[in-house]
Amino acid sequence: MNAHEYAVQANGSFALPDACFKIKDLLEDDTSSAADFANVISVDPSMTSRLLKIANSAIYSFPGEISTISRAITIIGTQAIYNMMLVDVAASAFKHFSNQAIDLKRFWRMSVYCGLATKNLAIKGGIRDIERLFVTGLLQNFGELLVAKTSPDLAQQCEKYSAEILPWKLQQQVLGYTYTDISAELLKIWQLPEKIILPIRHYNQAKDIQINKDVKVLYLASRLALIDSNPDEFTYDEHIDENLCQELGLTKEDLDEAAEFAGEEAKNILSIMNANFY
């Protein structure tokens, strides 16, 4: 199968809930109010609970407790609420996913870590609309779950990456494309904004093409996540591109701080996502 066929086949298992499409419609309606958004979300107690946990987490770092969806919308904004609903979809995918083809603990640790590092580096790089960049980092490798569910034998082959053959290069060798290609196709089916999909499509080529800051930040965050999960195999000096750091105005200290933040908070976010790893 090609990347699009994986995404189409998997969409039934990892479909967006109706509430996400309703929120998206409200975002596109200039006459919608905060109450309209709250009414859609509040009918699902489980989603409301998790969204409030995420809103009060280190992702947003607001002083004082956010105790209602209406307050979360007022403080964070409707786009951020929609992004957090996407996080909830990712959590649900894990909850219903049972497969031995890949190391799920490693998968979710890398995904959450990448989301946190992407957001932190975006702040340091002066990028606006940082909420979506957490979602971009979190979902960039979602295609791995789709392959593990549909073609576990191929996922097991792709799991055997190393410093000699990097993950995305091994995926290209085994599948003919990468997990991020599949992720981008699924997010397109989900009708997510292109500004979320574009960095996912292109970040592995960030060194070779001139493209926006989002792509470069996601590239750096994904490498930090790889190093975090495989410290004996991958090193900072070999896999962090200093030229990209300079283009973003980032120092090694900035990356060290982003790595420390992502490492400390990943455990908390995984707990919120009911990943039950810790």
The answer to the question of residue 86 being in a domain is: yes
Q: Which long-range contacts (CB under 8 A, 24 or more apart) does 188-197 make?
A: 188/7, 189/7, 189/8, 189/11, 190/11, 190/16, 190/20, 191/21, 191/24, 192/86, 193/132, 195/129, 195/132, 196/132, 196/135, 196/136, 196/139
Q: Cβ(270)–Cβ(112) under 8 Å? A: yes
**With 80 as the cut, is the pLDDT of residue 234 above it?**
yes
Which tokens is 93 given?
Answer: 């995918």
Residue type, 177: Y
The domain tally of the chain equals 1
Calculate ∠ Cα 109-110-115, nearest 5°: 100
pLDDT band at 226 (very low <50, low <70, confident <90, very high): very high
The answer to the question of residue 268 being in a domain is: yes
The rounded distance, in Å, linking the Cα atoms of 226 and 241 is 14
Q: Cβ(273)–Cβ(109) under 8 Å? A: no
Q: Cβ(133)–Cβ(86) under 8 Å? A: no
pLDDT of residue 95: 63
pLDDT band at 220 (very low <50, low <70, confident <90, very high): very high
Looking up tokens 């309209």 gives 36
User: Tens digit of pLDDT for each residue in 193-210?
Assistant: 888 899 999 988 877 766
Q: Between these two residues, 95 and 263, which has the higher pLDDT value?
A: 263
List CB contacts of 179: < 8 A, sequence separation 6 or more.
141, 142, 143, 144, 147, 158, 167, 168, 171
pLDDT band at 276 (very low <50, low <70, confident <90, very high): very low
The answer to the question of residue 202 being in a domain is: yes
% of the chain surpassing 90 pLDDT: 31
The answer to the question of residue 278 being in a domain is: no
The rounded distance, in Å, linking the Cα atoms of 22 and 128 is 25
The answer to the question of residue 45 being in a domain is: yes
pTM: 0.81
pLDDT band at 182 (very low <50, low <70, confident <90, very high): very high
Residues in the chain: 278
The rounded distance, in Å, linking the Cα atoms of 145 and 179 is 9
**With 80 as the cut, is the pLDDT of residue 259 above it?**
yes
Q: Cβ(107)–Cβ(234) under 8 Å? A: no
The answer to the question of residue 205 being in a domain is: yes
Calculate ∠ Cα 37-40-43, nearest 5°: 135
User: Tens digit of pLDDT for each residue in 113-166?
Assistant: 999 999 899 999 888 777 788 889 988 999 998 898 889 999 999 999 998 899
Lowest mean pLDDT: which of 22-26, 48-52, 124-128, 272-276?
272-276
**Which residue range(s) make up the domain with 265?**
3-272
Which tokens is 5 given?
Answer: 């066929």
The answer to the question of residue 277 being in a domain is: no
Q: Between these two residues, 157 and 22, which has the higher pLDDT value?
A: 157
Query: What is the CATH classification number for the domain harbouring 242?
Result: 1.10.3210.10
The rounded distance, in Å, linking the Cα atoms of 31 and 78 is 13
pLDDT band at 275 (very low <50, low <70, confident <90, very high): very low
Q: Between these two residues, 247 and 63, which has the higher pLDDT value?
A: 247
Q: Cβ(121)–Cβ(262) under 8 Å? A: no
Residue type, 208: D
Which tokens is 108 given?
Answer: 């979710």
The answer to the question of residue 90 being in a domain is: yes
CA count, 13 A, side-chain hemisphere, 252: 5
Q: Cβ(120)–Cβ(257) under 8 Å? A: yes
The candidate with the shortest Cα–Cα distance to 160, out of 110, 102, 106, 218, is: 102
